[in-house]
Structure 1
Amino acid sequence: MKLHREILTPQMVQYDDFSSRGETQYLPYLMYFNRPDYRSEAINTDRLGFRISHGVDEQASVGSTLPDGPVRLLVGGSVPLGYGSTSDATTMASRLWTKHASSRPWLTYAGHCYNSTQELLLFLLYRHLLPPVEEVVILSGFNTLVMSRLVEMHRADQGPFYFCGEFFEQMEEVRARHRKTSRGFGRRAKPAVPSWPSPDEVRPELDDAIASAVDLVGRHLASWQVLAAATGARVSFVLQPMATWLRAEPAPEEKLIFDELDRISKLGTWEALYGDVSSVAAGQRYADALAPACERQGVRFVNLNPVLRAAVTDKSWLYVDRAHLTDEGNDIVAALLADQLGLS
């Protein structure tokens, strides 16, 4: 018997393959990035792992063909990457380029599971490949907030990243090998890094997690502004629309998929994993803290959740899971982005 997910969103099987942990592309500094030269009906990437964006009669990506003139960047994690869309042509960047803000080409500048640190580093590492950049639209927020709850994984005042437990565990093995070969006396081995997520970990209060996430986002936006000033690009931060930040009750198709995902998940239900940060009220508190942080950096801020809520009905099917959008969802969000940011 087929799952509702396979019937309603058959493209997700290809995304499962695309994001397979066994095929992860590990990179210096970034830790990991999208699979390069990936080919499927649903998603295609270039030699570096950037997703292909579509215009009316052309295509472009950071690691392949690029337009001659100024471009606009859609930056972030898996939502601006278009995770869940049925094709490259139906991603948010492609809908902006072909319909809603088509005066300039849009490039998808996003990595699966990325937080605000990785978004900034990705720009730094590949900026040299870009033509002049006119707009930087960062559609993000949730991953940084989720990671801010992992108090045991903070290192050197930097926030954790997805799969960081595996990294720290492997590095602990390297440290242990060096200890065995050391000739020093009286050295006391440090305790092993806890697994992630640690079963004994106490999550911080919501306001503390929000404060930590906002601090990281604010720091990175300051760096974005310094980098953008060299080219005159405008930087905007848009708090991504999440299904659970948008409305308390999902659309009928969404409920079928969400309930099923909870049943088949090996990690636990969404509520158990993310319930403390994913309610409508939590999303609003996060937005209320992000707005002044963006203002201090001179960055335009938009909380897209109430904007999207006002633009749809309770029965509008927008999500393939609680984070990622359907084709219709991508198109609606692209139109709202163009309107809210005054892009043509």
Structure 2
Amino acid sequence: MSYYHRAPRVYAPYIMEMSAPNYSSPCFSTDEFGFRTTIYKGNRLTLRAYRELIDRPRAAIFGNSTAFGVGTTSDSLTIPSHLNRNTQFLWFNFSGRTFQSTQELLCYLLFAPEGIEKIVIISGINNFDMSYRWFSDDTIYLPPFYNQRPFLSAYFDKEIEPKGFLRRLIGRI
């Protein structure tokens, strides 16, 4: 697990934070966009190659650390790499460490090519974790969320009156 904890992260527009591009360790590697390398026919499958290959119908996995493959000892042991060996689809891993559903959706909107026929989403735990931490006053340790708390505190602490949709949403919480 230490390779995962020491792996560098970079800020990405809209997504906030991703694994560093072109990173390589004994346990995992990333492509030029920071996505976990998937193995296809024994070779590294990058996002660029995934967009260009058309020998199989495309499929994609979106999700959090589990979908990313945190804890695996090789890129070949991730869920999409297993699926590449055992299905007729070409799978790519659009997941990220500590991602929550909004970041996963943004990865789809910003990076996924047209023509994906199957999508698997392994998600939700980080959303629940963040909402629990928010309402329990627990410290939020996940870097992508560190600067949201002061902004949202203004609404939840009633320092300013929210308008429109946000006011209706807060009224239901």
- Take 2:101 and 2:145, find their aligned partners in 1: how far apart are those partners? 18
- The aligned counterpart of 2:4 is 15
- The aligned counterpart of 1:136 is 119
- Take 2:46 and 2:147, find their aligned partners in 1: how far apart are those partners? 29
- Take 1:131 and 1:95, find their aligned partners in 2: how far apart are those partners? 23
- Take 2:58 and 2:145, find their aligned partners in 1: how far apart are those partners? 37
Q: Does structure 2 retain, via aligned residues, the 8 Å contact 1:147–1:161? A: no
- The aligned counterpart of 1:208 is none
Secondary structure of the structure 1 residue equivalent to 2:146:
helix
Residue type of the partner of 2:143?
F
The answer to whether structure 1 residue 94 and structure 2 residue 81 are counterparts is yes
2:131 to 131, 143, 148: 148
Moved over 4 A (4+): none
Shift of 1:152: 8.5
Q: Does structure 2 retain, via aligned residues, the 8 Å contact 1:115–1:161? A: no
Q: Does structure 2 retain, via aligned residues, the 8 Å contact 1:71–1:106? A: yes
- Take 1:38 and 1:57, find their aligned partners in 2: how far apart are those partners? 19
Q: Any residues of structure 2 matched to 1:80-119 within 5 Å, and which?
A: 80-99=67-86, 102-119=87-104
Aligned Cα root-mean-square deviation (Å) = 2.8
Residue type of the partner of 1:96?
L
Residue type of the partner of 2:18?
F
- Take 2:29 and 2:144, find their aligned partners in 1: how far apart are those partners? 26
- Take 2:21 and 2:44, find their aligned partners in 1: how far apart are those partners? 17
Shift of 1:53: 0.8
CA deviations over 1:15-46 (Å, ceiling 9, x no partner): 1211xxxx431112111111111011211001
Q: Does structure 2 retain, via aligned residues, the 8 Å contact 1:71–1:131? A: no
- Take 2:75 and 2:34, find their aligned partners in 1: how far apart are those partners? 13
2:25 to 40, 43, 62: 40
Return the TM-score normalized by structure 2: 0.75
2:66 to 55, 79, 84: 79
Shift of 1:146: 0.8
How has the CA–CA distance of structure 1 residues 161 and 107 changed in structure 2, closer, same or farther, with 3 Å as cutoff? Answer: farther
Higher normalized strand content (fraction of residues): 2
1:167 to 147, 153, 163: 147
- The aligned counterpart of 1:284 is none
How has the CA–CA distance of structure 1 residues 113 and 165 changed in structure 2, closer, same or farther, with 3 Å as cutoff? Answer: closer
Shift of 1:96: 1.2
Shift of 1:58: 3.6
Return the TM-score normalized by structure 1: 0.39
Q: Any residues of structure 2 matched to 1:197-236 within 5 Å, and which?
A: none
Shift of 1:138: 0.2
Q: Which structure's CA Rg is the greater one?
A: 1
Q: Any residues of structure 2 matched to 1:180-195 within 5 Å, and which?
A: none
- Take 2:141 and 2:104, find their aligned partners in 1: how far apart are those partners? 11
Shift of 1:59: 3.2
Q: Does structure 1 retain, via aligned residues, the 8 Å contact 2:10–2:19? A: yes
Q: Does structure 2 retain, via aligned residues, the 8 Å contact 1:72–1:133? A: yes
Q: Does structure 1 retain, via aligned residues, the 8 Å contact 2:32–2:46? A: no
Q: How high is the sequence identity, in percent, across the aligned residues?
A: 29
- Take 1:78 and 1:110, find their aligned partners in 2: how far apart are those partners? 7
Gaps of 5+ in 2: 155-168
